[in-house]
Amino acid sequence: MERNVTLDFIRGVAILGILLLNIVAFGLPKAAYINPAWAGSVSLSDAWTWAALDLFAQVKFLTLFALLFGAGLQMLLHRGKRWIQSRLTLLVLLGFMHTLLLWDGDILLAYGLVGLVCWRMIRDAPGTRQLFNTGALLYLTGVGVLLLLGFISGDAPNRSWVPDAANIQYEQLWKVNGGTEAISNRADLLSSNLLALGAQYGWQLAGMMLLGGALMRSGWLKGQYSLHHYRRIGAWLIAVGMLINLPGIYAQWHVNWNYQWCAFLLQAPRELSAPFQTIGYAALAFGYWPWLSKLRLVSAITCVGRMALSNYLLQTLICTTLFFRFNLFMKFDRLQLLAFVPAVWAVNLLFSVLWLRYFRQGPLEWLWRQLTARAAGVSLRHSAR
């Protein structure tokens, strides 16, 4: 099957864009990820950095990746049940090892688990419209659960939102020292993440996967519409998404990042805006592809997208080494951490371009495919390298 180069580019953008948020999770305590006032107070530069990332990136690139994951499930349907289940089960195992041994911010486990449910829903959907509507309903259900959790959570101080000095010191200790204590703490965090996946986030993740499957089935994610359509719909969707998100950003700042409001209720505008902006970003890529495809940087980002799994794990290896092994954890604020991002991007881009000069797939993509074939009992006709 011929590759959809534009989708590879969009996937590359998603992988690189995720690092804009993950760099905070690598360099600061877990509470800092969505709470700029995690230390009890916040500088003006930190607050503005948080606001800009919240508007353009927070949740958006993860949502974009989920959309593309669902599109990929639609494309894999011809492989059959055994291939898809084997592939996703291996992704679950990889995600489990990633989160236990390397970093608690893993997304692979969640995508694999939800994908094992969603591929059947995509396969069995009677039509594209029904699939799209089901995806939208599941996503809205997840947002509704988020609001419900906010109403019942109360306004009591929460250590996961504003940790005390002892908790911060302990988190720094186990992250920097590693070993069995780090694995034990990551296992505890994994339990909490799986609970959140089943109760709330999984609904949204499943919804975006179904939307991606529907848009692929309709031909929209194959670039089968006019350039004018993609440019017009892209600009409109991004504008709508920002208009939904902006009041939530302002309100969080206004209530001084209060736990009940900002950990739950005011997350809803961002979550509602994400599908609009996500699909809008993808639309602009299709709409301007004849011009984008001529740029060398775009070609390099496309290589990153072809090696998305390898590059995602490469980011983990680089950042855990920098912040945990070289003891840079908690040495920089949110704005300063962004200075590390272009350097990691450069490694992703250079690695991908050089690797694909000699091989057809990324190293982990190749291994994943080989193991999937063995698990599914399928013989590969051609080597992927």
pLDDT of residue 115: 98
pLDDT of residue 369: 96
Give the model's confidence band at 223: pLDDT under 50 very low, under 70 low, under 90 confident, else very high. Answer: very high
Q: Which of 235, 211, 214 is nearest to 285 (CA)?
A: 235
Q: Coil, strand, or helix at residue 57? A: coil
The mean pLDDT of 285-312, rounded to a whole number, is 97
Rounded CA separation 204/83 (Å): 25
Give the model's confidence band at 385: pLDDT under 50 very low, under 70 low, under 90 confident, else very high. Answer: very low
Residue 383: pLDDT above 60?
no
pLDDT of residue 325: 93
What's the one-letter identity of residue 355? W
Rounded CA separation 167/180 (Å): 18
Each residue of 133-188: pLDDT tens digit? Answer: 999 999 999 999 999 998 888 776 677 889 999 999 999 999 999 999 999 999 99
C-beta of residue 235 within 8 angstroms of C-beta of residue 279 = no
The mean pLDDT of 344-369, rounded to a whole number, is 97
pLDDT above 70 covers a percentage of the chain that reads 98
Residue 112 CB-density burial (10 A; 0-12 exposed, 13-18 middle, 19+ buried): buried
Each residue of 173-191: pLDDT tens digit? Answer: 999 999 999 999 999 999 9
Each residue of 89-136: pLDDT tens digit? Answer: 999 999 999 999 999 999 999 999 999 999 999 999 999 999 999 999
Residue 197: pLDDT above 80?
yes
Q: Which residues fall within 8 angstroms of residue 303, CB to CB, at 6 or more apart?
A: 8, 12, 349, 352, 353, 355, 356
Residue 45: pLDDT above 50?
yes
- What predicted TM-score, i.e. pTM, was given to this entire model? 0.95
Q: What is the mean pLDDT of the chain?
A: 94
Each residue of 243-277: pLDDT tens digit? Answer: 999 999 999 999 988 888 999 999 999 999 999 99
